Chain A
Amino acid sequence: DTAVSQTPKYLVTQMGNDKSIKCEQNLGHDTMYWYKQDSKKFLKIMFSYNNKELIINETVPNRFSPKSPDKAHLNLHINSLELGDSAVYFCASSQMLATNEKLFFGSGTQLSVL
């Protein structure tokens, strides 16, 4: 069983389109995240949700809107896609305030905007 699963694995789309990436975790964690990894491998936190509530919202264009229907899911919707949005997006989860808080990452969604 995959602990953190995200779909799709690859997403190729045209500029201006709207797309969504889904994420689910089966670890019973209370916190979920979205990270963006650019072509230089830099990992940048975008959002963090704890118990379905947004707690971290870094400087991200408002074209990006996370949605958490329940603790196990955190989806990412992107409006009006731009060339600069091309990157690998990772969903992650953890148990906040655990002694040794460990992030579990999904396998990533490679987004290519043409």
Chain B
Amino acid sequence: QQQVKQSPQSLIVQKGGISIINCAYENTAFDYFPWYQQFPGKGPALLIAIRPDVSEKKEGRFTISFNKSAKQFSLHIMDSQPGDSATYFCAARMSRGSYIPTFGRGTSLIVHP
């Protein structure tokens, strides 16, 4: 059972464009939603995270939009750069019970120069 569904599986964007990756979750007990960025040959690294008490969080060119009623959240990368080319994982975690984050299946982003 996949508790966090991520789309698209792959994404190609031109330099300067907006990259959008979407995730949907099922378990309403999730209360922490991080995004991880993974470059080839490296481990994933935390990029940005949000809690459900806010609808948006922005850090530089990266923004998370959160829709609690729809149980959806998305990552927006503004002014996408070739250096943003990586695999992005959304995740969801509970503060109580199983605290292990559940990962989406990942989105491979390629930003063309």
Contact = CB atoms under 8 A, between A and B. Distances in A.
Q: How large is the interface on B (under 10, 10 to 19, 20 to 34, 35 or more residues)?
A: 20 to 34
Say whether chain A's binding surface is mostly helix, strand, loop, or mixed. loop
Contact of B43 (A97, A101, A108): A108
Interface in A71-114: 90, 92, 96-97, 100-103, 105-108
A90 B38 CA distance: 12
Query: Which range contains the number of A residues in contact with the other chain?
Result: 20 to 34
Interface of A: 4, 33, 40-43, 45, 48, 56, 90, 92, 96-97, 100-103, 105-108
Interface of B: 32, 34, 36, 38, 41-46, 49, 87, 89, 93, 95, 98-101, 103, 105-106, 108
3 tightest Cβ-Cβ pairs between the two chains A and B: A105-B43, A41-B106, A43-B103
